[in-house]
Amino acid sequence: MKQLLKAIADFQEEVPVIHEETKGYNYTYSNINTIFDVIKPLLKTHGLAFYQTLNEDKLDTILFHVEEGTSISSSIIIPKVKLGSMNEYQSLGSGITYLRRYSLSCMLGLITDKDIDGAGDEPKPEPKKKALDKKGFDYLMTEGKHTDINVALNTRTMTEEQSKELNDKLETIETK
């Protein structure tokens, strides 16, 4: 359990604020695909993974340490609601996606929307970026995928030369 908790703490120190201007009803948030694009490489770096399952009327979220095999989990009841002009299945799908996003965000300590309650709309300080080390840079240049490189460019400090080389590699990937 000790490795799991340390890995979560290290992940939380490194993960950036994940916010985009996807519009909801009087609020903005990050969609689940954006969240996954940012967190998956960081989870892997820290030896973490997760899965989410439907269990009768509940959504279970399980976060585990890959090597240690320990895990933590949460469960939330999926309310049965009808949203606007959506049919029951569309409302259920929308609710499941919403709960997947917020269950995972809560478990990992992610900031994925603007804080508009209580203190108002105050900007959150950006976490301190860690430097991109040689091993990470070499990995990105040889095996890095589009998402991996984008995450590194947005969450790591690096030399101008590293930044230029990674941006050049991104252009190469995008033109394929």
Task: State the pLDDT confidence band at 107, using cuts at 50, 70 and 90.
Answer: very high
Q: CB of 66 within 8 A of CB of 3? A: no
Give 123-131's long-range contacts (Cβ < 8 A, gap of 24+).
124/17, 126/16, 126/17, 127/13, 127/14, 127/15, 127/16, 127/17, 129/16, 129/155, 129/156, 129/157, 130/14, 130/155, 130/156, 130/157, 131/156, 131/157, 131/158
- What tens digit of pLDDT does each residue of 36-83 get? 999 999 999 999 999 999 999 999 999 999 999 999 999 999 998 888
The pLDDT assigned to 64 comes to: 97
- What tens digit of pLDDT does each residue of 122-138 get? 555 566 778 888 988 89
For residue 29, what is the enclosing H or E element? strand 28-29
Note the pTM of the prediction, 2 decimals. 0.62
